[in-house]
Amino acid sequence: MKKLINAEILDNKCVAGDIYRLIVKADMDGKPGQFIQVRLPSNEFTLRRPFGIAALKDGQVTMFYRVVGHGTEYLTNVKVGTEINLLGALGNGFSLSEGKVLLVGGGLGLAPLIFAASELESVDVLIGGKNAEEANLWQSEFEPLVDKLFIATDDGSAGVHGFVTELLPDVLRTNKYDAILTCGPEIMMRRVAALAKESNISCQVSLEKRMGCGLGACLSCSIDTINGRRKICKDGPVFAAEEVFYAQN
Ligand code: FES
């Protein structure tokens, strides 16, 4: 059931570099991997923006966003107490399996994985961040929820110097997983999917694309898959890796 909700902003502040945490009061149902189409509170911005759900509990929804353009810049100045309109939760979400799960995320892609971690029994996370400041943010969010935490940063200021995909082969050699869930830059997810396949581990990827309606009507988010054209907003954003990355695997 898709719901339009007017949600009061409870917190909206910078938590690392150009990353902000937005907490709103909203009674919403949803599962990890689903997203919300957020309408900014100004007529200047007519298109909604898709935000991953990092937490959904006690009548509050937590989201993270990076300042990347005029709209998100505007959002940084929206005050606590303002109402914003949300459409959601949308999309299919992750299939959460039993057994040991590894989450692999890069940058803002880690946000929906926090929600996944909170619902999984046995879970580790591999965090990819630009630098120590971003890695520390994600570390503090995941630490209470996971067993083991592995970190890679682009500049080497925390954890292993490099991308998560350089650290992943070692993590897979020394630990045993039943499933991998990944969200982040597509190039990273393609590599994660390939390594998962080599190790015979099932892998789900959460795709991102500029969206119009978010409801399956405008086709702006269509992609080619082994099952024909699919819409990221409605058929996804979560897909089995082999369904969407077949050419590389
Ligand atoms: Fe309109 Fe997906 S955003 S069909």
- Ligand 1 centre to CA of 193 (Å) is 25
Same domain as 148, residue 215: yes
* Residue 138 or 213, more confident: 138
Among 90, 117, 149, the domain-final residue is 90
Q: How many domains does the chain have?
A: 2
Same domain as 81, residue 22: yes
Indicate which CATH number applies to the domain containing 127.
Answer: 3.40.50.80
Same domain as 106, residue 73: no
Residue 137 lies in a domain: yes
* pLDDT for the residue 249: 40
Shortest-distance atom of ligand 1 to CA 234: 2
Point out the least confidently predicted range of 186-190, 201-205, 243-247. 243-247
- Residues paired with residue 37 on neighbouring β-strands, in sequence order: 50, 87
What residue ranges line ligand 1, CB within 6 angstroms? 211-214, 216-221, 231, 233
Same domain as 118, residue 84: no
Classify the C-alpha dihedral 39-107-92-148 as positive or negative. negative
Q: Is the pLDDT of residue 157 over 90?
A: yes
Residue 188 lies in a domain: yes
Shortest-distance atom of ligand 1 to CA 213: 1
Distance CA 84, CA 69 (A): 18
89: three-class secondary structure by DSSP? strand
Q: Is the pLDDT of residue 177 over 80?
A: yes
Same domain as 196, residue 168: yes
Q: Is the pLDDT of residue 226 over 60?
A: yes
Q: Show the CA angle centred on residue 23, arms to residues 6 and 40, nearest 5°.
A: 50
Q: Is the pLDDT of residue 137 over 70?
A: yes
- Ligand 1 centre to CA of 36 (Å) is 13
The pick from 229, 233, 235, 239 for probing ligand 1's pocket by mutation, whose C-beta has the most ligand atoms within 8 angstroms, reads 233
Residues 6+ apart with CB under 8 A from 170: none
* pLDDT for the residue 246: 66
- Ligand 1 centre to CA of 91 (Å) is 10
- Residues paired with residue 206 on neighbouring β-strands, in sequence order: 183, 238
- Ligand 1 centre to CA of 217 (Å) is 5
pTM of the model: 0.94
What are the tens digits of pLDDT across the range 54-66?
A: 999 999 999 999 9
Query: Which range of residues forms the domain containing residue 167?
Result: 101-248
Helix, strand, coil tally for the chain in percent (to 5): 25, 35, 40
210: three-class secondary structure by DSSP? coil
Residue 96 lies in a domain: no
* pLDDT for the residue 206: 97
Question: Residues, the chain, total?
Answer: 249
